[in-house]
Structure 1
Amino acid sequence: MKLSALLTSAGINIGVCALLLSLYSVLRKQPGNISVYFGRRLAEEHGRQRDSYVLERFVPSPSWILKAWQYTDEEILSAGGLDAVVFIRAIVFSIRVFSVAAAICLFGILPLNYFGQEMHHVHIPSESLDVFNISNVMPRSRWLWVHCLALYIISISACILLYFEYKGISKLRQFYITRSLPNPSQFTVLVRGIPKSTEEPLTDTVRNFFTRYHGPSYLSHQMIYRVGKVQKIMSGAEKVYKKFVHLNHCAQDKRFRLKLSRCGLCGGKSNAFQLFRSQSESNKKVILNHSLTEKNKECAAAFVFFRTRYAALVTSKVLQSSNPMLWVIDPAPEPHDVYWSNLWLPYRQLWVRRIATLLGSIVFVVLFIIPVTFVQGLSQLDQLQQRLPFLKGILRKDFMIQIVTGYLPSVILQIFLYTVPPLMMLFSSVEGPISRSGRKKSACTKVLYFTIWNVFFVNVLSGSVINQLNVISSPKDIPTQLAKAVPRQATFFITYVLTSGWASLSTEIMQPFGLLWNFFRRYIFRIMEEDPDCILSFPYHTEVPRVLLFGLLGFTCAILAPLILPFLLVYFLLGYVVYRNQIMNVYIARYETGGRMWPIVHNTTIFSLIMAQVIALGVFGLKESTVASGFMILLLLLTLLFNEYCRQRFHPLFKNLPAQDLIDRDKEDEETGRMEQIHEQLFSAYCQFPAEISSSYTPDEDGEGSSGVDKKDTSGGDSLADIEHPTLPNLPIFRLRQAVDAVSMLFSLQNRNLSKQRTIISS
């Protein structure tokens, strides 16, 4: 590829980014798009839309960039949680380390590569990009020492920055554990693999086991019910039921007004359900009086509550039975983080699911090699024309060649990569995680492995697939083959950073799917009310792998192809502004991993450094620089020792909770008298059916309500261990009938309203 093709790709991407960023600065000012670009603030502040039409709303402005740049880490932590801070710190780390790399390589390595051989250089735009790579340096050149020294400086700078980032995030993680607000998950464990007995129900089995073996610390428990697909149907119908109840309390129109202009793009909004409030009030009593005779189907899982945090921690770390498949205990996720659909899965089935998802992921990775090989065929146009002669007539113009070689391959690969995150999220759901954050973290890891393998290794090794299929004959040849292939594919990686990096950030800030849905919702379906449940959480499973992949490309290509560094630096600077804006304004933090994303960032960065050093070792071997190769081995050992120190020093805090901090919190709560209040809140923290209490709540005429659930009197001699969480005896069937009846009522009311409209029109 020539430099002119790279400049063409850069020009196209710069134009697309500038256009999308300008459109965003205009669209974000429109009142109708407030739910798209300010979803989080709308959900928290319930801000009012401004309907005034001023010229400022239609003029692009960079004010949002200044606001995003001025946000502090405390504001990011308050808005997006610790995971958001970790993600931003990963970008800050990348900006710092690649600023050092760009300063060294652009002014020190790039000229050495360009003048590495005695040759006549033509006009720079017409130069091949290979003259800027290390492949242009002559063997046994004394300037290879500069490359070795540059990689030493980059690696040492990266390790120092990683250490301080790991240390700072560990302190934030400790603050997250010991925050002032009590966390119900610290008092709770999830028990699975409960042995079934014909003599007693599962709830009695759980109570008897923990009363006998954990009597002083056991508080209570809550069984988990197997609802499966019924719960999904019920959750969807529950939203309709809540919508119906909300409409009943809205202001009602006294007169019926016919709306004739209902093409969808014009005419006012109408509410067909506001005409029958009296009928819905009578039907509401019927819904709330269904029979509760059938019994819930309990599964072999339960949430068990303990009196102290330390007791829950010890219980979750101890083997409870001689059979490891029985009484399996894990720390409970936070209440809003529980993934209820997987809690009823038998524990013995989980290892089968993990193997199945692993095999499915491997098959998908193998099949994905096909489009990657096709993309690499486009980047090697000269070889492709030899195999397909009819392309010579199509690709006669230089501009078409520049488009096909410099822009089209990365675009096609990016289109194929859009199918990866949803599929990996599906695989992670099938595995059986107990928390939504765990599912997203698992999907993040899968997407990361998939992206590194297919975008980096397969692209590197398939660059010569057109000529030869057996690229690597033995494992000892891996450094040599990588040393040959990575500089050759560096031009593709530069265009990939432009397309997948710059363009993806512009797409992220624009939110095209949210913008399109908002248009249909407001102007086609005439739904003007904002639904807080539609606000998305931050897609860590797609953005974290992308950032880490670009870090891998930056480290491996720093001394081999330094031209990639300025494009990477622009990506990280733009990403710093875009992601901060999205975290503060768009996405809502429904759940988080508590900073557990950082070990993934750290390990991937260490892997990138080691890969860069291994490739440099192979390059120095090809260039017959024995001394530089020996120094690379020393650098490899130092990097591994640094990683081992960080693994011993910081990583345990991200896997376990410190007993010292938990015991101090327990003593503090007991001394202040807050422990009893915390125990009372535990009974309602983990609610499998969110509408459990509200469904049994019937308002009285004076405005106060009474619950249909009988509460036990704890004022007598009963201990807290005997108090069970109040549950309806037939809650799934009850709520499903409620929701189905509500949906039926909605359709019946709508049909009545339509029949009245037809009668008026016909008359």
Structure 2
Amino acid sequence: MDIAALLTSAGINIAVCVVLFSFYSVLRKQPSNVNVYFGRRLASQHSRRIDLCLERFVPSPSWILKAWETSEDEILAIGGLDAVVFVRILVFSIQVFSIAAAICTVMVLPVNYNGMGGMRKNIPFESLEVFTIENVKEGSKWLWVHCLALYIITLSACALLYFEYKSITNLRLLHIIGSPPNPSHFTILVRSIPWSSEESYCETVKKFFSYYHASTYLSHQMIYKSGKVQKLKDDAEHICKVIRDASLEKTCKPSFTKCCCYGAPTFSFKKISTETGSTHGRTCNNDLHLDTGKKECPAAFVFFKSRYAALTAAQVLQTSNPMLWVTDVAPEPHDVYWSNICIPYRQLWIRKIATLVASVAFMLVFLIPVTFVQGLTQLDKLQKMFPFLTGILKEKFVNQVVTGYLPSVILVLFLCAVPPVMILLSSVEGSISRSERKKSACFKVLYFTIWNVFFVNVFTGSVISQLLVFSSVTDLPAQLAKAVPLQATFFTTYILSSGWASLAVEVMQIFPLLCNLFQRFILRLKEDALDGSLSFPYHTEVPRILLFGFLGFTCAILAPLMLPFLLIYFFIAYLVYRNQIINVYITKYDSGGQYWPIVHNTTVFSLLFSQLIALGVFGLKRSSVTSGFTIPLLIGTLLFHQYCRQRFLPVFRNNSAQILIDLDRRDEHCGRVEEIYEHLCSAYNQSSLMPHSTSQAKCVSLHEDKDSSPSSSEDMEKGNEKEINQKDRPRPVQRSLSLSSDKSVLGVKQ
């Protein structure tokens, strides 16, 4: 591929971005699209006012200015700590790749371009390979420049990673301290409760915790089977029971004769109580319309009198058999994934193995489209496979589009199927919380994309070359060192297609927009077509950013021409995602920054891999001195990673006993203990088991008044500052990033 093909791909993607961003700036001003582009605000504000003016049909950059001016405190108040962490990922990427782009463009790129010496052609007609390290001759003394650039990039990335890890750790501690009393801090989830023929699960749980945790046990709430199949079964049993009771009344002659004497027949149905007090009371009842003993799961939420008692009970081994009375820290009430809690604990390891096998099988099947895509990048092999295309491919513009734009677009389209498949596998895996399911899917999508976008593309120019590579696995380091610089041009075009264009598609919200238009103008529905229930897709966007970071670190000194395009992507992503967090996505639960350890580990892996590739390239170029200086860099990066794991990671895995005890004492001092206990009894409601009116009333109580504020796009913009400080989530989060309060609880040295 030459520079002209790369510029063709860049031009097409720039045109797509400009058109879509312009359409977005107009469509977001239309009152009919408020529920698409302001779904988060519409969740708590439901009135609308239509203002007809010419400005609504003129593109404007007002949304960019608003996204830029929104402070981090406001992002925290709107989207929670997870949103702040996501924005910090983008800020970190901008910082580190700004340094890398400056260093490599000034120092490395000229060395690569003039590596072989001699006369150069016009730059637009140059092959992109002349800008890579492949163009540097063996034994060149200028390889010192690449080694120095690698040191600067690694040290800068490690320093920025350390400060970000420290800052986000402090934010997580403040998040725990500053939030209102969280029911999950007083609650544990107990699974694999032993079955007894003499008593129900409810009585077993009460007896066990009343005996072994007598001083701290408060109450418990059983979990009932509530799936769709179970609901249909319960309804059928309920109808059969009603019909049976009615038929018994009808055939009961003494009662019928007696009633006839008074002229009052008794053929009416009996009304059976459907109250579900056991699902939201302190103790267990059997007043459901069916026998609850038949529907109980061997799982329950157990409430304790203090946070420290719950933490201790969740982490300690309850019995000598680790497969019985399994305890975990309970998720937040809005984070509970009810469908998976009733899964038998003994099945989980089988499910995890099955999902692992399914993920590997899906990765292997995905080799087919990746191999096809790589075939498009090599015209000579494409012409041999399809001779009838030779005439068409000789056209200059067609050649540039096929080699520079089409392969990355096809790969992006195939990759669109990956996140839904991975979220399905994570659901089957048995995650007990929605955040855990999304985090598990994030891991799977990350591994999948790194493997298929990087490694498979590196090793597959065609099926034949793939077989040759896998026939010489012992030469893997040398193969990587040879293949990565050659594939850097494809990765650059992939950043343009999957990065720039995907941001334009993200801000447009094409699928919700089409659904909204269909329901409004085809079905003629006057109510909102969307209910504003979109949550931020961390499982797709975090892996995308980390993949681009992996490509940037790996190809920084090998093909520095990629870095400016990558840096532009991170700048645009910073504005787009801030806008989406402010206006579109609703935060129903918060994992407390659990995505940052994934970011840290992936970034360190990217640094180590880039150093290994550089070590292999220096070996191929027969520069033993630069190879020797790269080894201490590898060791230093590993030591840095181990230090961060020991210093910061435990804070993300477990809550601190010091903080929880101080919070318990603060609640006692303020006299809020009884209020907290009363809230615990109704925190974990299985809405599928509640009567319709009750669940509806509870839903209304969790949201603000929806009839009192404007929701047209103009009013949304004007009312943003007022709304940021209001409660707009079911559970409030810490509103300030200040580290000045509760220093004694944090134990942080200022």
**Whole-Å Cα distance in 1 between the matches of residues 549 and 233 of structure 2?**
44
**2:460 aligns to what SS in structure 1?**
helix
Residue 387 of structure 1 deviates from its aligned partner by 3.4
Which stretch shifts more, 478-487 or 137-146?
Answer: 478-487
**Whole-Å Cα distance in 2 between the matches of residues 14 and 696 of structure 1?**
52
Partner of 2:414: 416
Counterpart contact for 1:9–1:495, Cα < 8 Å: yes
1:664 aligns with 2:682: no
Counterpart contact for 1:463–1:489, Cα < 8 Å: no
Residue 697 of structure 1 deviates from its aligned partner by 10
Partner of 2:220: 221
Residue 690 of structure 1 deviates from its aligned partner by 6.0
Residue 481 of structure 1 deviates from its aligned partner by 1.1
Residue 672 of structure 1 deviates from its aligned partner by 1.4
Q: 1:26 to 1:679 in 2, by over 3 A?
A: same
Amino acid in the other structure paired with 1:181 = P
Partner of 1:39: 39
Partner of 2:468: 470
Counterpart contact for 1:437–1:592, Cα < 8 Å: yes
Amino acid in the other structure paired with 2:146 = H
**1:10 aligns to what SS in structure 2?**
helix
Partner of 2:323: 325
Counterpart contact for 2:68–2:575, Cα < 8 Å: yes
**Whole-Å Cα distance in 2 between the matches of residues 52 and 530 of structure 1?**
18
Amino acid in the other structure paired with 1:128 = S
Counterpart contact for 1:377–1:466, Cα < 8 Å: no
- Please give the per-residue CA displacement for 1:672-709, whole angstroms capped at 9, x wherever unaligned: 1101110111010000126737646999xxxxxxxxxx
Counterpart contact for 1:132–1:562, Cα < 8 Å: yes
Residue 292 of structure 1 deviates from its aligned partner by 5.4
Q: 1:523 to 1:464 in 2, by over 3 A?
A: closer
1:614 pairs, out of 612, 615, 618, with 612
Which stretch shifts more, 490-499 or 49-58?
Answer: 49-58
**1:44 aligns to what SS in structure 2?**
coil
**1:471 aligns to what SS in structure 2?**
helix
Q: 1:513 to 1:61 in 2, by over 3 A?
A: same
Q: 1:593 to 1:468 in 2, by over 3 A?
A: closer
Partner of 1:538: 536
**1:186 aligns to what SS in structure 2?**
helix
- Please give the per-residue CA displacement for 1:326-362, whole angstroms capped at 9, x wherever unaligned: 0000000000100000111110011111111111001
Q: Which has the higher contact order (CA 8 A, sep 6+)?
A: 2
Alignment of 1:325-344 (within 5 A): 325-344=323-342
**Whole-Å Cα distance in 2 between the matches of residues 549 and 626 of structure 1?**
31
**Whole-Å Cα distance in 1 between the matches of residues 657 and 153 of structure 2?**
38
Counterpart contact for 1:39–1:585, Cα < 8 Å: yes
**Whole-Å Cα distance in 1 between the matches of residues 173 and 338 of structure 2?**
28
**1:374 aligns to what SS in structure 2?**
helix
**2:317 aligns to what SS in structure 1?**
coil
**2:469 aligns to what SS in structure 1?**
coil
1:437 aligns with 2:435: yes
Which stretch shifts more, 525-534 or 317-326?
Answer: 525-534
Between the aligned residues of both structures, percent identity stands at 65
Which stretch shifts more, 573-582 or 671-680?
Answer: 671-680
Alignment of 1:331-480 (within 5 A): 331-463=329-461, 465-467=463-465, 469-472=467-470, 477-480=475-478
Which stretch shifts more, 687-696 or 390-399?
Answer: 687-696
Amino acid in the other structure paired with 2:290 = E
1:196 aligns with 2:192: no
Q: 1:73 to 1:691 in 2, by over 3 A?
A: farther
Amino acid in the other structure paired with 2:334 = H
Residue 646 of structure 1 deviates from its aligned partner by 0.4
Residue 534 of structure 1 deviates from its aligned partner by 4.2
Partner of 1:294: 290
Residue 431 of structure 1 deviates from its aligned partner by 0.5
**Whole-Å Cα distance in 2 between the matches of residues 493 and 415 of structure 1?**
16
Counterpart contact for 2:132–2:558, Cα < 8 Å: yes
Residue 442 of structure 1 deviates from its aligned partner by 0.4
Residue 463 of structure 1 deviates from its aligned partner by 2.6
Partner of 2:13: 13
Partner of 1:639: 637
**Whole-Å Cα distance in 2 between the matches of residues 229 and 584 of structure 1?**
35
Counterpart contact for 1:288–1:696, Cα < 8 Å: no
Q: 1:398 to 1:298 in 2, by over 3 A?
A: same
Q: 1:698 to 1:110 in 2, by over 3 A?
A: closer
Amino acid in the other structure paired with 1:222 = Q
**Whole-Å Cα distance in 1 between the matches of residues 666 and 94 of structure 2?**
42
Partner of 2:64: 65
**Whole-Å Cα distance in 2 between the matches of residues 178 and 97 of structure 1?**
31
Q: After TM superposition, which residue ranges in structure 1, 4 or more long, deviate above 3 angstroms?
A: 230-236, 285-293, 464-468, 472-476, 531-534, 693-699
Alignment of 1:489-568 (within 5 A): 489-530=487-528, 533-568=531-566
**Whole-Å Cα distance in 2 between the matches of residues 99 and 400 of structure 1?**
34
Counterpart contact for 2:377–2:407, Cα < 8 Å: yes
**Whole-Å Cα distance in 1 between the matches of residues 694 and 575 of structure 2?**
48
1:158 aligns with 2:157: yes
Counterpart contact for 2:42–2:532, Cα < 8 Å: no
**1:190 aligns to what SS in structure 2?**
strand
Amino acid in the other structure paired with 1:519 = L
Residue 524 of structure 1 deviates from its aligned partner by 1.9
Counterpart contact for 2:375–2:462, Cα < 8 Å: no
Counterpart contact for 1:472–1:481, Cα < 8 Å: no
Residue 50 of structure 1 deviates from its aligned partner by 3.4
**Whole-Å Cα distance in 2 between the matches of residues 564 and 234 of structure 1?**
59
Partner of 1:76: 75
**Whole-Å Cα distance in 2 between the matches of residues 535 and 226 of structure 1?**
25
Gaps of 5+ in 2: 236-269, 276-286, 698-750
Partner of 2:625: 627
Partner of 2:716: none
Counterpart contact for 1:43–1:532, Cα < 8 Å: no
Counterpart contact for 1:9–1:498, Cα < 8 Å: yes
**1:178 aligns to what SS in structure 2?**
helix
**Whole-Å Cα distance in 2 between the matches of residues 509 and 580 of structure 1?**
10
Partner of 1:101: 100
Which stretch shifts more, 495-504 or 687-696?
Answer: 687-696
Counterpart contact for 1:193–1:347, Cα < 8 Å: yes
**Whole-Å Cα distance in 1 between the matches of residues 271 and 231 of structure 2?**
24
Counterpart contact for 1:68–1:577, Cα < 8 Å: yes
Aligned CA-pair RMSD = 2.2
| TM-score for the superposition, normalised by structure 1 | 0.83
Q: 1:613 to 1:464 in 2, by over 3 A?
A: farther
Aligned pairs, number: 651
**Whole-Å Cα distance in 2 between the matches of residues 289 and 672 of structure 1?**
38
Amino acid in the other structure paired with 1:15 = A
Q: 1:233 to 1:594 in 2, by over 3 A?
A: farther
- Please give the per-residue CA displacement for 1:170-225, whole angstroms capped at 9, x wherever unaligned: 01110111124000000000000000001111111001111111110000000001
Amino acid in the other structure paired with 2:133 = I
Counterpart contact for 1:465–1:471, Cα < 8 Å: no
